[in-house]
Amino acid sequence: MASLTVRQLDERIKKRLRLRAARNGRSVEDEVRTILRAAGEESGAEAPQPISPPAPQTGRRAEATPAHDVKRVLLIVGGGIAAYKSLDLIRRLKERGIAVRCILTKAAEHFVTPLSAGAIVGERVFTDLFDPAGEFDIGHIRLAREADLIVVAPATADLMAKMAGGHADDLATAVLLATTAKILLAPAMKLGRMAEPLEIAAAVERLLSASTQQTLAGRRVLITSGPTHEPIDPVRYIANRSSGKQGHAIAAAASAAGADVVLVSGPVNLPDPPGVTIVHVETARDMLRAAERALPADVAIFAAAVADWRVANAGAQKIKKKAGQTTPDLSLVENPDILATIAHRKSQRPKLVIGFAAETENVAANAKEKLARKGCDWILANDVSPQTGIMGGNRNTIQLVTPAGIEPWPPQSKDDVAAMLIARIADELDGDKA
Ligand code: C5P
Whether 317 is in a domain gets the answer: no
User: Which of 240, 269, 313, 396 is an active site residue?
Assistant: 240
To test the pocket of ligand 1, the residue of 265, 338, 382 to mutate (highest count of ligand atoms within 8 Å of its CB) is: 338
Give the HSE-up count for residue 28: Cα atoms under 13 Å, Cβ half-sphere.
Answer: 22
Judge if 153 and 251 occupy the same domain. no
Residue numbers of the chain with a pLDDT score lower than 70: 1-12, 15, 21-27, 40-68, 132-138, 210-212, 432-434
* Domain boundary, last residue among 162, 186, 210: 210
Q: Are residues 259 and 377 in the same domain?
A: yes
- Burial, 4: exposed, middle or buried (Cβ in 10 Å; 0-12, 13-18, 19+)? middle
Three-state secondary structure call for residue 165: helix
**Residue 365: inside a domain, yes or no?**
yes
Q: CA 351, CA 348: separation in Å to the nearest integer?
A: 9
Structure letter (DSSP) for residue 94:
H
Closest ligand 1 atom number to CA of residue 307: 21
Going by alpha carbons, the residue nearest to atom 4 of ligand 1 is: 357
Distance CA 54, CA 57 (A): 9
359 lines ligand 1 (CB under 6 A): no
Q: What is the DSSP string of 200-238?
A: HHHHHHHHHHHTT--TTTT-EEEEEESB--EESSSS-EE
Coil vs helix vs strand at 69 = helix
Report if residue 350 sits inside a domain.
yes
Burial class of residue 103 in the structure, from the number of CB atoms within 10 Å of its CB (0-12 exposed, 13-18 middle, 19+ buried): buried
Give the whole-angstrom CA distance, residue 388 versus residue 290.
32
Nearest CA to ligand 1 atom 21: 337
The pLDDT of residue 47? 36
Measured distance CA(236)–CA(232) in Å, rounded: 5
**Residue 35 in domain:** no
The last residue of a domain, from among 210, 244, 270: 210
Both 123 and 237 in one domain: the answer is no
Flag whether 47 is in a domain. no
Same structural domain for residues 259 and 144?
Answer: no
| 369 & 406 share domain | yes
The pLDDT score that the predictor gives to residue 248 is 96
Shared-domain flag, residues 133 and 76: yes
Same domain, 130 and 269: no
pLDDT for the residue numbered 433: 59
Co-location of 256 and 296 in the same domain:
yes
Decide if 6 is inside a domain. no
* Catalytic site includes residue 394: no
Q: Classify residue 424 as left (phi > 0), alpha (psi -120 to 50) or beta.
A: alpha
- Residue 376 C-alpha to ligand 1 middle, in angstroms? 11
Evaluate whether 181 touches 148 at the Cβ level (below 8 Å). yes
Of 224, 276, 235, whose CA–CA distance to 254 is shortest?
A: 276
Looking at the fold, whether 405 and 299 belong to one and the same domain comes out as yes
Ligand 1 centroid to residue 170 C-alpha, Å:
53
At residue 280, the 3 state secondary structure works out as: strand
| CB 306 less than 6 A from any atom of ligand 1 | yes
CA of 306 from ligand 1 middle (Å) equals 6
Q: Is the CB of 371 under 6 A from ligand 1?
A: no
CA distance 231 to 313: 10
pLDDT value for 58: 37
Partners of 382 in the β-ladder: 358, 398
Check residue 324 and give its pLDDT: 83
- Tell me the C-alpha distance between 321 and 331, whole Å: 18
Q: How far is the CA of 126 from the centre of ligand 1 (A)?
A: 53
Say how far apart CA 335 and CA 307 lie, in whole Å: 7
What CATH number is associated with residue 412? 3.40.50.10300
Q: What is the rounded distance in angstroms from the CA atom of residue 382 to the CA atom of residue 388?
A: 10
Q: Are 221 and 261 in contact (CB under 8 A)?
A: yes
Are residues 380 and 268 part of one domain?
A: yes
Residue 50: what pLDDT? Answer: 36
Total count of domains within the chain: 2
Instruction: Determine if ligand 1 sits within 6 Å of the CB of residue 413.
Output: no
Cα 39 off chain centre by: 29
43 in a structural domain: no
21 within domain boundaries: no
**pLDDT of 415-434, one tens digit each?**
899 999 999 999 999 876 55
The three-point CA angle 210-213-216 to 5° equals 100
pTM greater than the 0.75 cutoff: no
Q: Give pLDDT tens digits for 373-398.
A: 999 999 999 888 777 777 777 888 89
Judging by beta carbons within 10 Å of its beta carbon (0-12, 13-18, 19+), is residue 317 exposed, middle or buried?
Answer: exposed
Any atom of ligand 1 within 6 Å of the Cβ of 357: yes
Please give the residue range of the domain that contains residue 173.
52-210
Is residue 296 reached through a cis peptide bond, with omega within 30 degrees of 0 on the bond before it?
Answer: yes
User: Do residues 399 and 342 both lie within one domain?
Assistant: yes
pLDDT for 229: 98
Q: Name residues whose C-beta falls within 8 Å of residue 392's C-beta, 6 or more positions apart in sequence.
A: 241, 242, 243, 245
Domain boundary pick from 152, 178, 210: 210
179/117 same-domain check: yes
